[in-house]
Amino acid sequence: MFATTALAALFFVPASSEMGFLLAACALLTMTGSIDDRYDLHYQLRLGVQALSACLMIWGANTSLLSFGDIFGFGDIKLGFLSIPITIVAVIGMINAFNMIDGIDGLSGGLSLITVTALYFLIGDRIADGASNILLLMIGALTAYLIMNLHIFPKWTPKIFMGDAGSMVLGFTITAFLIRYSQGIKEIMMPVTGLWLVAVPLMDIFVTCIRRIRHGRSPFHPDRTHVHHIFMKAGLSRRNTLLVILAFHSIAVTIGVVLETTIHSDYISFIFFAVLFFAYLEFIKHSFKASKWIKRTFRKTR
């Protein structure tokens, strides 16, 4: 996915130093992820590389979080001297969010495709820096990947996997787009809209890490407590689990896009997202009963 998108970008995206730094960061993550898939690198080394990629984005591509917007209704929340550390933490967090949720076929790729499609809808031709072309290339690469990952045409295509190399690059690229086009002179959407566009990976990593810390484990210690594991433990098949999570993410993204394009209020959008987040927490709290209800619903629709 990285190789084809990067190669095509050389022909269809205007050349710039900012694009060069972003491609360099993606190449670094792809290489690190590939080595990690083979040799299982220590998480501290992965975090270091992710932080370096964030720095390439901040100083090379001039992309960083400057403000959270007017999410509390008291005025724009400027980050000031906290801009750089918060940006690095945000990039690392979202890279690992897309990496950690990549637990069943099609999940990380499907979530990414929904988010990238929404970004293309929001950006369109409003920015003349080739961003829409990059998003189209990503949509094409993700669609091709999902066809083979889900083995839709088993007679004609091999089954391939994304691995850390793919999921980390997707998390980084999506985060770079969300930050770049919600801040400063290139702002075309509210910062809070970015939360809607990565709703499922964001909420999953937050809840999973908090649960691990409460049980005295490292937040980077792998286990089977992600949202897709919960559904499968309740008896849903992998296919149905994938459909439920992608449907939920599609609804969340759609709500975010509608709030962005109609109301365009940071405060109202943030309130709605907070409601969604607390509803998600309640679902996780009663996840076994909720997933059982979903399983019965799937049986009735057959």
Q: Could you tell me the pLDDT band of residue 226, with boundaries at 50, 70 and 90?
A: confident
- The CA-CA-CA angle for residues 273, 211, 206, to 5°, reads 30
| pLDDT value of position 223 | 72
| pLDDT value of position 236 | 81
For tokens 């990690």, name the residue: 36
Q: Is 99 annotated as a binding residue?
A: yes
Q: What is the mean pLDDT of residues 2-7?
A: 87
Rounded Cα distance between 167 and 160, Å, is 13
Q: Is 204 annotated as a binding residue?
A: no
Residue 287 has pLDDT above 90, yes or no: no
Residue 112 has pLDDT above 70, yes or no: yes
3-state secondary structure 282-301: HHHHCHHHHHHHHHHHHHHH
| Residue bearing the bigger pLDDT, 170 or 225 | 170
Residue 293 has pLDDT above 80, yes or no: no
Rounded Cα distance between 66 and 77, Å, is 9
| pLDDT value of position 258 | 96
Q: What is the mean pLDDT of residues 119-144?
A: 87
| pLDDT value of position 298 | 66
Residue 182 has pLDDT above 80, yes or no: yes
| Most confident of the ranges 6-15, 211-220, 232-241, 274-283 | 274-283
Residue 129 has pLDDT above 80, yes or no: no
Residue spans per domain, the chain: 2-301
Q: Could you tell me the pLDDT band of residue 302, with boundaries at 50, 70 and 90?
A: low
Q: Could you tell me the pLDDT band of residue 288, with boundaries at 50, 70 and 90?
A: low
For the chain, give the DSSP string.
-HHHHHHHHHHHS---HHHHHHHHHHHHHHHHHHHHHHH---HHHHHHHHHHHHHIIIIIS-----B--STTSSS--B-GGGHHHHHHHHHHHHHHHHHHT--STTHHHHHHHHHHHHHHHHHTTS--SSHHHHHHHHHHHHHHHHHHHTTSSTTTS-----HHHHHHHHHHHHHHHHHHTTSGGG--S-HHHHHHHTHHHHHHHHHHHHHHHHTT--TTS--S-SHHHHHHHTT--HHHHHHHHHHHHHHHHHHHHHIIIII--HHHHHHHHHHHHHHHHHHHHTHHHHHHHHHHHHHHH-
Q: Could you tell me the pLDDT band of residue 152, with boundaries at 50, 70 and 90?
A: confident
Residue 286 has pLDDT above 80, yes or no: no
